[in-house]
Amino acid sequence: METKNIGLRGIEVADTKISHIDGEKGKLIYRGYDILDLTENSTFEETAYLLLYDNLPTQQQLDEFNAKLVEARYIPKQMQKNMGNWRKDADPMDMLQAFVAALAGYYDEEFSNKDASYDKAISLIAKVPTIIASWQRLRDGLEIVDPDPTLSHAANFLYMMFGEKPDPEVEKIFDVCLILHADHTFNASTFTARQVASTRAHMFSASSAAIGALSGELHGGANTEVMKMLLEIGSIDKVEDWIKDKMSKGERIMGMGHAVYKTYDPRAQVLKELSRKLADKTKEPWYAITEKVETTTIEEMKKQKGKDIYPNVDLYSASLYYMLKIPVDLNTPIFAISRVVGWAAHIIEEKFAEAAPKPALYRPKAVYVGKYCGPEGCEYKTLDLRK
């Protein structure tokens, strides 16, 4: 017997009010608002409020939300000390997963009511950037930079990473990146968060599990693989031969194609333009190489298989982060800085669902295709009778 729905593709598992994808039209909606409109007019903090609370904030609500985020940025000094005991070449996603889970050892895990859950969400959103920046400074042998309460969420992370405040253009570019990555319906990591939350596990546990799902190269790790690809190619004149060789062998081109979008990923549209702007500023070649990868892959896919293919969110985010001087292996943790907002919103929605009734615990059915010895099962033989 063969399974009909590999990877739960197309299977509806729950209702959500948080985000929506129209794969045919290439649209991503956060709580009713088009992602392109939000990147043009909003900020990460405002978008985070929207995803959590289902409404754009008033000025007073935004000020109070920002104040809570700023207050929650600090992480325990003991946690930072413990980071120093890790191998400096440890995978940053393993580090992040471990220390997000470890937050439960420092803070009350209780989120039995919705208000407490929002407080935990804000704390988590604020602390993830500090965990990542602290780790980066420690493994580089540098002193940890404490959060700056005068800076935005985006600017503060870059400040903690590099020890200097970013210029306004760089801050805005990074802020838009965070908006774009904040949620994407029931992707692998978000579904993981909801599944764990359905067991009534707490916020830190469900988010830590989501980080584990995000770490894989077919999900959040894809942007790291894109940058490795670009570095391997090295120059624009080598792109065509490299792409043709990989595709002739049936190998996947990272950053191209998507499970849901049947046209251009709207996030990739924005990231492409941001990457171009940053390339103009830095005079680095990575945007041009990436654009050539895009056009060559599209042409070869059409020629070899008669199919259309389009960039996904990872293709241009890789070059963009690289030009921001962010280490390649931090691409996926930075994804988590943003996506933790979506995870938290989905965890709260899962735990306090007001939508249509659903099972209290996710428990999908598997199709058994293993050994079958008959209706009574296989005969157990003692060790001396086995050959």
Active site residues: 258, 314
Best CA proximity match to 346, nearest among 22, 54, 28: 54
Best CA proximity match to 13, nearest among 182, 188, 181: 188
Q: Which two tokens stand for residue 149?
A: 């309460």
Rounded Cα gap, residues 275 and 322, in angstroms = 10
Rounded Cα gap, residues 313 and 181, in angstroms = 8
Based on the number of CB atoms within 10 Å of its own CB, is 47 exposed (0-12), middle (13-18) or buried (19 or more)? buried
Rounded Cα gap, residues 247 and 163, in angstroms = 42
Contact 73, 130 (CB under 8 A): yes
Contact 155, 69 (CB under 8 A): no
Q: Give φ, ψ of 19 to 5 degrees.
A: -150, 165
Best CA proximity match to 13, nearest among 187, 224, 164: 187
Rounded to 10 degrees, what is the CA torsion of 20, 22, 23, 27? -90
Q: Which residue has the tokens 């596990």?
A: 201
286 Cβ neighbours under 8 A, 6+ residues apart: 230, 275, 279, 319, 322, 323
Rounded Cα gap, residues 332 and 213, in angstroms = 11
Contact 128, 96 (CB under 8 A): yes
- Pairing type for strands 19-22 and 27-30 reads antiparallel
